[in-house]
Amino acid sequence: MDQGDDPGEATLVTWLRADAGWVPELSLVAVEDGHVVGHVVASRASVDGHPALGLGPLSVLPARQGSGVGAALMHALLGAADALGEPLVALLGEPNYYRRFGFVPAHSAGVIAPDPAWGDYFQVRTLTGHSGETGRFAYADPFDRLASTPRETVGD
């Protein structure tokens, strides 16, 4: 889900950068003519205590959405995560969009969403380092912090 200037996403990225789960190699930007037009990040997560990655946010400036910036960021992030030996990447997003990157509904890979109501929108992409990890997925702590923060205070 490419999104523009959502202060909740900016706040989440700030919190992720300060978190023990921050993986600087997996914070990527797209730059055109000296201006940042997109960003994607994956942070440390877990599947029943085994290392995993949680992807998000993925943001692209509204004027650049639909131009391939988001796809390029996704491919770069997945390649970098694979090169780092990560086992899997999970995200919450539109199945029709993320399927093109190899994501499948998490339950089909034995990974349980943090919230069962997410259904097929919670997806995983296994990587070369995957050795069959299954169980409950947990995002980095800032995701829980964002979920419990009233919307009007996010970004203050």
Q: Is 34 helix (H, G, I), strand (E, B) or coil?
A: coil
Half-sphere exposure (CA, 13 Å, Cβ side) for 120? 7
Averaged pLDDT, 50-79: 95
* Mean pLDDT over each residue of the chain, to the nearest integer: 88
The token duo for 135 is 């169980």
Give the closest residue to 88 by CA, choosing from 48, 56, 133, 125. 125
Give the closest residue to 38 by CA, choosing from 57, 23, 25, 12. 57
What are the domain boundaries of the chain?
Answer: 7-151
Contacts 24+ apart (CB under 8 A), 145-148: 145/15, 146/8, 146/11, 146/12, 146/15
pTM above 0.95? no
What confidence category does residue 14 fall into, taking pLDDT thresholds of 50, 70 and 90?
confident
Q: Where does residue 121 rank: exposed (0-12), middle (13-18), buried (19+ CB within 10 A)?
A: middle
What confidence category does residue 11 fall into, taking pLDDT thresholds of 50, 70 and 90?
confident
Domain 7-151 = CATH 2.60.120.460: no
Task: Give the span between the Cα atoms of 18 and 131, in whole angstroms.
Answer: 29
Task: Give the span between the Cα atoms of 140 and 53, in whole angstroms.
Answer: 9
What confidence category does residue 148 fall into, taking pLDDT thresholds of 50, 70 and 90?
low
Beta bridge partners of 32: 35
Averaged pLDDT, 58-86: 96
